[in-house]
Every structure is written in structure tokens, then in C-alpha cells.
Amino acid sequence: MCSHSQNQKHYPELNYGSGAKWIKSLTQNRLSTFLGGHFENVNLSSVLYIHHVDDSNHVDLQVWSAPGLTKPLFREAMKQEFKPAKKGDSFGPSWTNHWWKVTLKIPTYWQQYERVQFEFDPGCEAMIFSTDGVPLQGITGGGGGDRRVEHIIPPQAVRDGHYSVVVESSCNGMFGVPWNGDTIAPPDLAMADLVVPNQDACMLLHIPSRTLLKLAAGHLMWDFTTLREIVDTVAGNTALQNKALVTANKIMNAFKSGDPENVKLMRGIAEDVFGKGWHAKGDKIYNEGPPKAQVVGISYCHIDTAWLWPYSVTQQKTARSWSTQIDLMERYPEHRFACSQAQQFKWLEEQYPTLFERIKKKVASGQFHLIGGSWVENDGNMPSGEALVRQFLYGQRYFESRFGKRCETAWLPDSFGLTAAYPQLIRDAGMKYFFTQKLSWYERNVFPHSTFNWVGIDGSQVLCHMTPVDTYTAQATVGDVNKGITNHKNLESNASALLVFGNGDGGGGALPKMLENLRRIRATTNEHRELPSVSMGSTVEEFFEDIEEDSKEGKTLPVWKGELYLEFHRGTYTSHGKCEILLRDVERVATLTSLLKPKGHSYVYPKRAIDECWEKVLLNQFLPGSAIGMVYDDADKLYAEVREVCTGLLEDAFSVLLPRSSSLLSKSTTETLVAFNATSFARHDVIKVPLSRDAARMKAQVVQTSADGKHGYALMHSVGNKVMSQPVGMYSVCMPASVFTNGTDHFVLRNANVQLTISEGRISSLIDVKLGRELIPKGNSGGLVIFEDRPNYWDAWDVEIHHLETSTPLSFSQVRVIAEGPLRAAVQTQIKYGGSTIDVTVQTSTYNGSVATMKGNSRSFFNFDAVVDWRERHKFLKFELPLNINNTYATYESQFGFVQRPTHKNTTVDAAKFEVCGHKFADLSEYGYGVALLSESKYGFSCEGNVLRISLLRAATAPDAEQDQGRHEFSWAVMPHVGSFLESDVPIAAFIYNSPLHVRTVPGQDAGHVAPSLPFWLEGSPNIFLETIKRGEDDFEPNASGTTIILRMYEAFGGHGSVKLYIGKNVPVKRAYVTNILEDTKGELGLVSTTGAHSTLKLEFRSFEVKTVKLVLETKKSDISGISSMTSSKRNSWVTVNEEL
């Protein structure tokens, strides 16, 4: 025998076996049977609990139900009388709140176990408090993937044998009451159990399922879950995918029903994929493996400030979600939670002060990260430019005042598109990074970038990341981590992705299973390379800083210029629209009054009242038009409060600035009309004046009287930098406005420069009289039109392109002349459609009374005032005008500028912009001429070829079953103009159209002694607008030492401009600075002062630049920088929470 044969390993000569070949797909399908389901009595489910008790000897429950829809806080609830309750009881109806006192008696022998927990499932959302009122964590009942019902009992309480908590449950789910027409049934108390989970068994597998309502989260469940996710995610025939499947199969084979101890063996098997001893390393697992991970995890909890639930429920959601995250931080040191929306912090500060203090400590320790810098995560299209400024101003100042720091990253993951004004405003708010995600909801055209430089209309840029995971509510699965790289669109520029994980929209945030899964994924990638590595423990800013460095300060990244248009949710531009004009006027009038008050008068700038109003307006800018009706009831209440307060503030200021003036409703018969011009533009206005029988002096000031003699119409003229308008007569050169009719179906409204014809109920002609140019193509007509409005899914959110195929033109009927000139000519019309009645008054005025602006060749506009009783369902009401004008794009106002969008459908990108957002105007122009639609409250526009439209009303039924139903009053105007858009006065006209005069009366003898001139005015380039005049924020800080004035200007036409800012001699300015929008100094300006004369500043603007100037006055701190007692008292409002009794 040869010696070498004896040294060889024995390989059997004969083989009668079948071999180890598997059918991979069957093995893979087998994994789904390991938990719950038909085999729950013999699979892993059978060993998940060691002990479980729910009888009254161990779990004592008492309950108090708050009356109606009230939301009492902890202290008030504890004063009430509680009654016995038991598991299985029902509580409701929807939106009600119920308080529970829970007393647990823990068996002595349970002290041997590592973990004892109380599981409470009310079938809805809830919050667990300590008995002294400290919020401990949130509860999410039910059977969804966001379920969290376990509360870990402190070890000392287990040793003591007893434990008590208080629970507040709210009868709504994570997403409110279902909006699909169903109503939520009163939830049952499904679980109030004291249990000892099998920690090892519970660490094997977790699959969200309605069969798992009694499962605790744990390691063995999570081991198996991660293995299954690897099998389902990683490409087949890779080493890792096959190894994960083999390992999971081995675990199932090793499982022995009824033998909890062999679970430790199964956990050892899982180490074949995760690595030996990986679990003992805990959060230190992230210190091993690749030095730089490709995917960076950050926990986040998106809470819609209102949506399928009212604001009051959001306040509860915030406390539940954030307390839960703090609880997780105690057990997972790597856990970092990013949080935005100053409003939600303020609610927490007012209603849950102990939790707020805990959050402050976590912010200081670096675990709780402040992001966003805004008051709420607001809509990115409809708020005005100044409102966006205030979002950052109020948000950043709040964060700085409470936490000693500002946010460094702007954060709007859920906005329905984003204005191109944002990059400039973000940079000016002290941030250079921006995170968003919503554009992943594309309908047709995939947005081409993940990480890029976003450049705004003025040229400013921010470093933007749009997570390739395509969600801000990732579940931290293997698939999520893998998608961060496989779906990344700029790997050639930067190969990093942000994984934003945690339950959201309705709150919740990260769950233990997510943090556990990420540890296992990291352990896997420390051993294998088929998956991208993931890291935890860093901040959003560190993620962006790495990109900035790797891309050489953005030089190697792609660039996207202009708006981020969302091809989705276009139907929200019309419903529930509001504006911020009144607050702008209040600030301007109050500032001027504090500066120019007559001698002997005192006035205190009402800073606190203004702040409260702004906060309410900013709060309502969270969602544009896609919430339930309860939200709009709340919003209407807030807007009513704002209107009431602002009206009072204006009256207070006018009573000082114009000491003997009164509102127009005064019954005095010897008064003279005056009006405050809240813009910086010269203007002509026609105003409506109530007339009494003996008001002889008032009648002498009007040019035209209504047929019934109850009203008159006066022509008011504002010139230069005068803040007051006064009545003037018609000039001799004026051609009176007039209306002609054949008595039946043909009406012509005309003045010296424009003419509009309504024939057979439609607008058949629009003529520039001076040029003799017809603006409506022959055979076409304009007017109101109805479209069928049945989106493919998202009812209140969307309008689909196919709605344009279903137009029904509406004809004006019952047309009658109501004013024949000479100052005002008008016809009254009515349309009956379905159950709705639409009354529209069409009017124009004499040449000097209705020219859009004081520009030399300005044309008059035709104004349409509508009063609508809207009773339709799934209909879309618009006004359209076909124009004899040809251009490939139309122009729409946006914040601090404009945006141009295609009128054609050359590409799918062009075709997708069939309904767009605009602010105060939409314009279609060609060389030499154009026509604009002016709007004072509607934001939806379109231009299809040569047909310009404004969207007026919709009628969705979900989630608000009564969307837009009822009475509406709104206006729009048709404004022809000479020259193309850039040569026109459209932006000025739209500004004036949205800024009505504040009309008052003064005694006749005071008519020549009204308020002084506006102390701030511009001379030079006409494309520079003075938008805002207000007092400086720092004037009202405790250590303030002086008085400052803030002036905000912007370039409106897209070109350079140079102006001189003149400052009246009665405003003693000692220094002037350029600041950012947060009013931090950027540089000092060269102030040219002459004793006894005006001071001047020379200012240069680039296209669309927003510039903020701070004027520091010579005056010392005085009464004008105080806060009046009238406006400083706490308002009894559900937004500003009163102190508990």
C-alpha cells in the first residue's frame, strides 16, 4: 500500500443519498411561516412570552373621559373623579380624550427577569405619564407597522413589586379619522397586560402583522427580520444573499417548539452573517468596518402641523413622539433625532414644560438636533415672499432664544413644490444646506438629481440633497439602505445618501426595531460588501459638510436653476387661500406712527400683538388646501382673530397719526375723505363711499352716485411719497367711463383706452382703444368655464391634465347695467349652474380712475367682483381669456420676482405644467403688447397655448367633504398693457391691486393738515420695490438700547438696479446697515446726511435681489419701544395656551 494513500481524507466511494440540492424559492418562501399565522402555537410565537397576566389583581384600571372634544392637560385631569374600567371596554367617539390611572402589582418572582413591561393598546394614540405628570413615551395602538404598545417598567419598581402610571388616550389613529368616507368606530381597550417577554426569543424575528398584537420587540425577532430583508433585497446568486437564506433556514431547522432555551443557539447561528460577538458591541458596532459609510442614518418624525387631524391633536402628537425619542436615546446611544418646526416646540413649552426641559438637555448633549429654522414646515409655493422671510425670522429667533443656537440646514421634505426664491432666503437666514424629498412623487418625469447645487432666481445657491431613498419616513430596512445607493442619481459626483427614518406625517418617529435593524445591517456590512454601509451618530450638518468638502465646495456637483416644480398636488393652489397684506399694512402704519406721532401724543408699538398675529398666519401656511374640514374651521377662527386684532391695531395707530380722523362709517356730515396709501407707489383709486341723506359735504366729494343714492364713488389721488390720498375731481381731459347695450344680450364697457364687450353671455371682444387693437381672436370668447374634476386618486390634492378635455363654457345671464359713468361703469351678471349661483360684477372706470398705475402709457383694467354660492361636487371653476398673442411662455409672479413657464407641450416636462402656482398676476405677452390677469386671493393659473386662465373654485370631497362649499367673495382683473412684460407695469399694478386704501374721514377744517409725507422713499431704477417697513426685532429685547427701523426692498423685474433711499429729515438716523433677513448686520452703508435736510443711501441691486436695511436712530430708548398693556396680556386662544389653574 502506498503511503500517500493513507494521508488522504476519506472521500466515500459509494453514495446512495439524494444530495443537498435545494429548491431555493421554496426555502425562501418558507421563511414567512416562522412567526404567527397558522403555526403560531408551534413556531417562534409560542415562546415570545415567559409570563403574561392581565387580571384585576395585577392590573387595576380607572378612567375619566373628558367632556366633548376638550383636551385637558395633566393637572386638570388629575382633579377629576375616575371610575373603574377593564380591558375590552369601548371609549369614544372620535377625537375625544380619556385619562387612565394604572396601578400594577408585580409578582415577586419576576425580579429574576431582565425586563418586565406593561403593554397598553387602546386601539388609538396615547401618552404615558409618570404620576407627577412627566411625559414618558407615546403609545400607538392597533395593528399597523407603526405600532408601539410596550412600556418598560423600571427595575426598581419591579423590585418594589408595584408601579403606577397615568395614560391619556385620544380616539384617533396615527392618521386621524380615515378620510376615505369611513368613520372610526369607538376603539376598544384591546390590551392592558403585565408581561415578561422572552428577551432572546423576541430578538429573533419581527414581522408587522395583525397576528402579532402581543409581541414585544426584541433581538431574536430582529435577527431573523434582517436576514429575511437581506434575502429579499440583495441580488440573487450573490454570496451574501445565499448565506443569509442558508442561515435563516438553519434557524428554522434548529427551532424546537416548547424549548425557549434553544433560542440562544439560534442567535448563535445568526452570527454567521452578522459576525461573531457582534451583539455585545452594541452601538460600538459602528466603530468597525469602513471608515466612511455611504449611507448616513438620521431619525426624524414628520408631524403635519394639521392635516387629517386638527391643531389640538398635533399638540398631543408632538409630545407623544418626542418623548418616545428621548426614551429611545437612553437605550440607544447612537440615536440622533432631527426635529423642525418652532411652533411645535412652542406648544410643547407651553403645555408640557417638564418634557420641554428634557428636550433642552438632549439638545445640549447633541442627541436632539434642531433643523429647518422655520416656524412650521410651510407650503413652498403660496406664502408671500415676506411670509417666507417671517417663517425663518420667527423660527430662527425662537430656536436661538430657547436653545442658544440657530438651525444650519433648511428642511422642507413634504412641500408640494418649492419656489425659486428659496435659495436666496435660505442663505440670508444663515443656512446653506437644504433637504427635501417630495419631488420623488413625480407623475411622469423623474427629477434628475439627488445631490446638487440649487440656484435660485437671483443666482444664490444652496447645497441640496434629495434623498434617493425617496421618503422621509423610511423604516430603516435593508431595502431602504440599499436604495440609498442603487437609486442615487449622482454617484459620479458624490456617493453619499441620507437615510431619514422614522414613522411620520402623523408622528411617531423611530421605533426600537428600526435602530436594532440598523445595527444588524452595519454588522453585516462590516463582514460583507454586497450592501452599502450605514452609519449612525452624526448630524445632518456633518452629512452636508462631508459633501461640501468632497465636492470641492459644490464645484463637482450638478446645478439645478429655478423652481423645484412638483408634478403632483396641483389642485391645492385654489382651495382655502389667504394672504398676509393686512399685517404688512399694520406694521407700516404702526412704524410710521411710532416715528411721526404728533406732539403731545403717546404711542407704543404693539410688538407682541403683531407677533401673535404673525404666528397664527405662519401656522396656517403649513398645508395649502388638502386637510379635513376641522382644520379649516380652526384656520378660519385664527384668521378671524388676526383680522379683528389688526383692525384694532390700525384704528389705534390712525387715532394717533391722524388724531381727529375716524373710520368711513362715521355719521358726521362735515367730514372730508382721506385715505392711507400702504404702498410706496403713486396711484389713482376709485372708492365706494356710504352716503346719508344729510351728508352734503360728503356728497360734494364724490364724482358719481349710485342709482339708489346710498353710495357714492370718489376719485382718490396719491402722489410721490405722500402717505395720504385725497379726493380729486375728474380732469377735463378725461373721457368718462360708459356702458352701452342693445337692451338684451350685447353690452359694451368702455373708457378712453380700453373696451370690453359681452355678447350672448360671453366676452367676445377686448380692444385697446388707443391702438385700435383687438385682443381676442375672431370667433373666440372668454368668460367662466367649468371642468370635470376627478383626479386619479388624491382628491383634494390633485388636478389631472385630462380635466382640460372636459370644459363647459358658462354664459353670463341676466346682465343688467348698474353704473353708467362718468367715473364708474359696470354691469351685474348672474350664472346658474347645478346648485350654484355665481354673481359677477364687471366694471371699469374713467381713464384716470382705473389706470393700473401712474405710468405714462398704462391701460385701465376690467375688474370682476364675484359672489358665489358654491354647491358643486368634483367641478373646477375657472375664468379664461383667449388672446391674440403668441409666445412660448407665460409669466407668473412668485415670491420677490417671477417665473416663466411654457405655454406648449413640446416635452412631457412642459406638458406637466398645465396648472401652476402664481401670486398676484399671470401674464401672456409678446413684443409690443400683453395681457395680465390680476389676482387678490387665488393662486392657481394656467396658459394653454394662447388661453390664459385663473382657477377660482374646486369641489373635492376628500379629505374635506365640504371643500369650498358655501359663500365666497373674490375678485380678479383683466389688464391689457402696452409693451412686453418686461416693459410693462404689471408687477406694480398687481401690488396696488392687492393693497386697497385705508379710507378715513377728517373734520373739514383738518383736511389740509393730515399726516406728513412718508419718511422713506426711493428714487432711481423703477424695478426696485419697497416691500416692508417695520420696527427692528432687537428693539424689544430686554437689553435694547435704541430704536431701529427695518426696510426690505427687492428687484422685481430680473435686472440690475440702482436707487437712492431717501430718509426724511424728521427721522434722525445716525447709522445704516445692510442686514440679513434675521436682521444680523452684514455691513455698514455710507449714510449721506445734511443738517436739516434729507439723508440718503445709495443701494445697488442684482436681479431679484432681496435687500434688508436697518436704520439706527439717534433717539434713545423710549416709550415707542415698549409693549403696551393693551396688547401684552395673554390672549384667550387655543393656540396661545393659558396657564393651568
| pLDDT tens per residue, range 939-990 | 999 999 999 999 999 887 777 677 778 899 999 999 999 999 999 999 999 9
User: Who contacts 67 (Cβ-Cβ below 8 Å, separation ≥6)?
Assistant: none
Out of 251-265, 604-618, 701-715, 844-858, give the one with best mean pLDDT: 604-618
Given its phi and psi angles, is residue 250 left (phi above 0), alpha (psi -120 to 50 degrees) or beta?
A: alpha
- The per-residue pLDDT for 4 is 57
More confident call, 754 vs 1094: 754
More confident call, 113 vs 851: 113
The C-alpha atoms of residue 850 and residue 687 are separated, in whole angstroms, by: 11
- The per-residue pLDDT for 577 is 41
Residue 252: is its pLDDT beyond 60?
A: yes
pLDDT band at 598 (very low <50, low <70, confident <90, very high): confident
The C-alpha atoms of residue 61 and residue 1139 are separated, in whole angstroms, by: 29
Q: Where are the beta strands (DSSP E) in 589-702?
A: 662-663, 671-676, 683-690
The C-alpha atoms of residue 373 and residue 395 are separated, in whole angstroms, by: 5
| pLDDT tens per residue, range 925-941 | 999 999 999 999 899 99
Closest to 500 measured CA to CA, from 451, 466, 464: 466
The C-alpha atoms of residue 824 and residue 845 are separated, in whole angstroms, by: 4
| pLDDT tens per residue, range 104-138 | 999 999 998 888 999 999 888 999 999 999 999 99
Lowest-pLDDT range of 266-270, 449-453, 515-519: 266-270
Place of cell 452629512: 543
Q: Supply the mean pLDDT for the chain.
A: 87
Residue 416: is its pLDDT beyond 90?
A: no
- The per-residue pLDDT for 331 is 94
% of the chain residues with pLDDT over 70? 88
Please, what is the angle between helix 342-351 and helix 311-331, to 10°?
A: 90
Mark out the alpha helices in 214-341 (DSSP H runs). 219-233, 239-254, 263-274, 311-331
Please, are residues 120 and 61 in contact by the beta-carbon 8 Å criterion?
no
Please state the rounded mean pLDDT for residues 821-835: 93
User: Who contacts 1005 (Cβ-Cβ below 8 Å, separation ≥6)?
Assistant: none
Please state the rounded mean pLDDT for residues 883-912: 95
- The per-residue pLDDT for 541 is 97
- The per-residue pLDDT for 1117 is 47
- The per-residue pLDDT for 180 is 38
Residue 788, Cα to own-chain centre: how many angstroms? Answer: 28
| pLDDT tens per residue, range 322-348 | 999 999 999 999 999 999 999 999 999
More confident call, 45 vs 64: 64
- The per-residue pLDDT for 196 is 59
Residue 379: is its pLDDT beyond 50?
A: yes
- The per-residue pLDDT for 176 is 67
Please state the rounded mean pLDDT for residues 502-526: 94
pLDDT band at 35 (very low <50, low <70, confident <90, very high): confident
| pLDDT tens per residue, range 548-593 | 999 999 999 999 999 988 765 544 444 444 568 999 999 999 999 9
More confident call, 1106 vs 663: 1106
- The per-residue pLDDT for 45 is 75
- The per-residue pLDDT for 82 is 97
DSSP string, 41-96: TTSGGGGSEEEEE-STTTEEEEEEEPSTT----HHHHTTSPPEEE-TT-B--STT-
Is 414 a residue of the active site? yes
Closest to 542 measured CA to CA, from 500, 502, 498, 477: 498
Please state the rounded mean pLDDT for residues 181-205: 48
More confident call, 201 vs 647: 647
Residue 202: is its pLDDT beyond 50?
A: no
Please state the rounded mean pLDDT for residues 765-779: 96
User: Who contacts 470 (Cβ-Cβ below 8 Å, separation ≥6)?
Assistant: 437, 440, 483, 487
Q: Where are the beta strands (DSSP E) in 502-585?
A: 534-535, 559-561
Please state the rounded mean pLDDT for residues 161-183: 75
Please state the rounded mean pLDDT for residues 668-672: 68
Please, are residues 677 and 723 in contact by the beta-carbon 8 Å criterion?
yes
| pLDDT tens per residue, range 773-827 | 999 999 999 999 998 877 766 666 667 777 778 899 999 999 999 999 899 999 9
More confident call, 5 vs 545: 545
Out of 192-206, 774-788, 991-1005, give the one with best mean pLDDT: 774-788
What are 851's strand-pairing partners? 860
Catalytic one of 121, 327, 414, 428? 414
| pLDDT tens per residue, range 678-731 | 999 999 899 998 887 666 678 888 889 988 888 899 998 888 778 888 888 776
Residue 78: is its pLDDT beyond 50?
A: yes
**Torsions phi, psi of 113, nearest 5?**
-95, 150
Q: Where are the beta strands (DSSP E) in 412-472?
A: 433-436, 451-455, 461-466
* Residue 102 three-state SS: strand
Please state the rounded mean pLDDT for residues 297-310: 90
| pLDDT tens per residue, range 1006-1051 | 655 666 788 999 999 999 999 999 999 999 988 888 899 999 999 9
Residue 205: is its pLDDT beyond 60?
A: no
Residue 156 grid cell: 426598581
Question: What distances in angstroms separate CA 2 from CA 9, 11, 494, 964, one per listed residue?
Answer: 14, 17, 63, 98
